[in-house]
């Protein structure tokens, strides 16, 4: 393998990683909208960073905002929940984290891209991803209501 072949392999690998985060973000969007009934207010996928916001009139969480970005092989999802019951949310997060919490800070969840998306851009371990997201959202809703 020559230098040119190595460069092509690197470019292909980088392109696949860039597409893996798109697949994962689209899967998260589908779970939120189809499985949990959230309505999309905005949904933007751009390069290594993605953003979306959702509402759900049936949820005690007024609005859910998500920002995600790929760093290496990690997909970092930042959630910000706006609720009418901020104090309960702060107490919940303080209890989990064991520190004083300000809702302006972010909640981050890390997903290893290779665990959820194959090199052929197929979603895998979807049931586990769905279960984790559903549990996270339901626990947040339960604690703020």
Question: Is residue 104 scored above 60 in pLDDT?
Answer: no
- CB 68 within 8 Å of CB 48: no
More confident residue, 120 or 95: 120
Strand bridging mode 61-71 / 107-112: unpaired
CA within 13 Å, CB half, 28: 34
Exposed (0-12), middle (13-18) or buried (19+): which is 88, by Cβ within 10 Å? middle
- CB 137 within 8 Å of CB 66: no
Domains contained in the chain, CATH given = 3-144 (3.40.1000.30)
pLDDT at 78: 84
- Count of helix runs (H) and strand runs (E) in the chain: 4, 5
More confident residue, 61 or 131: 131
Question: Is residue 105 scored above 60 in pLDDT?
Answer: no
For residue 127, what are the contacts with CB-CB under 8 A and spacing of at least 6? Answer: none
Residue among 12, 137, 23, 10 at smallest CA distance from 75: 23
Question: Is residue 106 scored above 70 in pLDDT?
Answer: no
Question: Is residue 24 scored above 70 in pLDDT?
Answer: yes
pLDDT at 125: 95
Most confident of 30-39, 63-72, 102-111: 30-39
pLDDT at 102: 54
Alpha-helical runs (H) found in the chain: 3-30, 86-97, 113-116, 126-144
> In 3-state terms, the chain is what percent helix, strand and coil (to 5)?
45, 30, 25
Q: For 12-29, what is the mean pLDDT?
A: 85
């Amino acid at each position: 393998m020559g230098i040119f072949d190595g460069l092509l392999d690197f470019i292909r690998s980088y392109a696949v990683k860039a597409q893996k985060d798109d697949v994962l973000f689209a899967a998260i969007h589908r779970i939120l909208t189809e499985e949990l009934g959230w309505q999309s207010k905005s949904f933007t996928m751009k390069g290594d960073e993605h953003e979306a916001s959702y509402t759900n009139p049936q949820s005690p969480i007024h609005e859910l905002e998500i920002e995600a970005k790929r760093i290496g092989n990690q997909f970092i999802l930042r959630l910000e929940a706006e609720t009418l019951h901020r104090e309960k949310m702060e107490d919940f997060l303080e209890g989990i984290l064991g520190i004083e919490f300000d809702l302006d800070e972010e909640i981050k969840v890390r997903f290893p891209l290779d665990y959820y998306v194959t090199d052929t851009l197929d979603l895998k371990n979807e049931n586990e991803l769905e279960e984790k997201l559903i549990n996270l959202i339901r626990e947040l809703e339960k604690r703020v209501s």
